[in-house]
Amino acid sequence: MEKQKKIEIYDTTLRDGAQGENVFFTLHDQIKIAEKLDEFGFDYIEGGWPGSNPKAEEFFKKMAMRKLKHSKLVAFGSTRRKNLTADKDPFLKALLDAETDIIIIFGKSWDLHVKEVLKISLEENLNLISDSVSFLKSKGKTVFFDAEHFFDGYKENQEYAIKTLLVAQEAGAERIVLCDTNGGSLPFEVEEIVKKVCGLLRVPIGIHAHNDSGTAVANSIAAVRAGAVHVQGTINGFGERCGNADLTSIIPILQIKMGFKCLEEEKLNHLTGLSRYVYEVANIVPPNNQPFVGYSAFAHKGGIHIDAVGKNPRTYEHICPERIGNQRRILISELSGKSTVLQKLGKYGIEKQPELVKKILDTVGQLEKDGYQFEAAEASFELMVRKMLGLYKAPFVVEGFRVIVEEKGSKIVAEATVKIKVGRRTEYTVAEGNGPVNALDNALRKALTPFYQCISDLKLTDYKVRILRPEKATAAITRVLIESMDQNETWGTIGLSENIIEASWSALVDSFTYKIIKETEKI
């Protein structure tokens, strides 16, 4: 059997990814992510730019005391300053002080930047590159070179852009990485240019793509087709402006669709979990429509689609979702048919009970006429069906709740009181929140925690309110959708009422109920 060709995966989530708007990692977060990436077997982890800020320096000090099992930690920096020799440059010294075996430095390969940003001659820029690589090599370091703005530079001054690469190679760089820093290149351009570069250089070529044209993943794949063996990117495409190339798409494309080796197969099977882990650490709600790892990536709504997938998943799924740790979801909506319900409820063995299937379909249809929307509230649908099948046992009973909103000084404070019963025990709790729903969430959580520790990782990630029949003004029906998640799953619940608090409470109770039942009964 022919051995798979290895593609090096270089992660820069901790440095380039952290430059994205609304992305922030504490030092503890950075260490946790680095250890998770190492656990997955990424080849290289770029830790940051030592010397640029105290947190980056502290990160490398902490990591020096930890032993990575697979990955190699990389320190990132730039070529020497124009008015300093390499041995006197404080940033090059900081790179050495990081004590990593591998250092990656970026240098200008676009003459526009050399002339208008650095304001030096083209020849002097070549000296910056050569001196910096040579100096770091003389200190026993493995050096990679990021050719910043390479594709823009190549298009405007091909001869000079290539010179920057050759100078880095001759100085001892062991990887030359072509950067589409502005993210403006297109796949056919990248493939053509990378192919030419691979024919001119003897060292391995890499690609570092940004997503400003929405083509970062495509550009990375095009580069590999042309001969690149080293791919840089971030988990979930985090990064400045429109982000970097998303490794959670690149890895399965290369490994599953193109036959390259990126990760061990058993690690690939947990890629979705890695994606959601990084979102969780960054405190960012995952977008449902993210390719491969998104919550909706293998969700089916149309009856014809669902019927076909039930007969053969290949009809509407480009890969098996389990290959990357995701799962198929069958959505219940007004487009649902008999096959939808059968697939959704196959675990209950009701295939030979047509009258029960019809009853469920009729119920769903009537509820959606009233304003319910189970497409985004699968957990509420699950609970409803369990009740109809006689399989529902309430983990707790609500005996009452109350919410007070009042002004305290210059602040508006909400206070909720919740009374529940679990078995023979009654729990009565009070909690505050920044709004009535938050207060109810806090009070219910406080009441249930002594009985069900599993809710400790339950988080409410989204809250949507929709006014139905607005012509009734303040008497209109309100629909509330709540999205919740834990470490393994995301689910939605729904509430409907003329009273927004009641609708919110109904969706909230469903969310906690679903979490408890799925943990205790493994639904």
- Known catalytic residues are 305
Query: Do residues 380 and 483 make contact, with C-beta atoms less than 8 angstroms apart?
Result: no
Q: Which residue has the tokens 């690690």?
A: 267
End-to-end CA distance of the chain: 41
> Strands 230-233 and 72-78, how do they pair?
unpaired
User: Within 10 Å of residue 465's Cβ, how many Cβ atoms?
Assistant: 12
| Alpha helix (H) residue ranges in 263-390 | 265-268, 271-282, 303-311, 338-344, 354-370, 378-388
Query: Do residues 317 and 298 make contact, with C-beta atoms less than 8 angstroms apart?
Result: yes
Beta bridge partners of 465: 480
Helices (H) then strands (E): counts for the chain:
18, 16
224-to-170, 220, 237, 487, 518 alpha-carbon distances in Å: 23, 6, 18, 34, 43
- If you ran DSSP here, which 8-state letter would residue 183 be given? S
Question: Cβ contacts of residue 522 below 8 Å, gap of 6+?
Answer: none
> Strands 411-422 and 397-408, how do they pair?
antiparallel
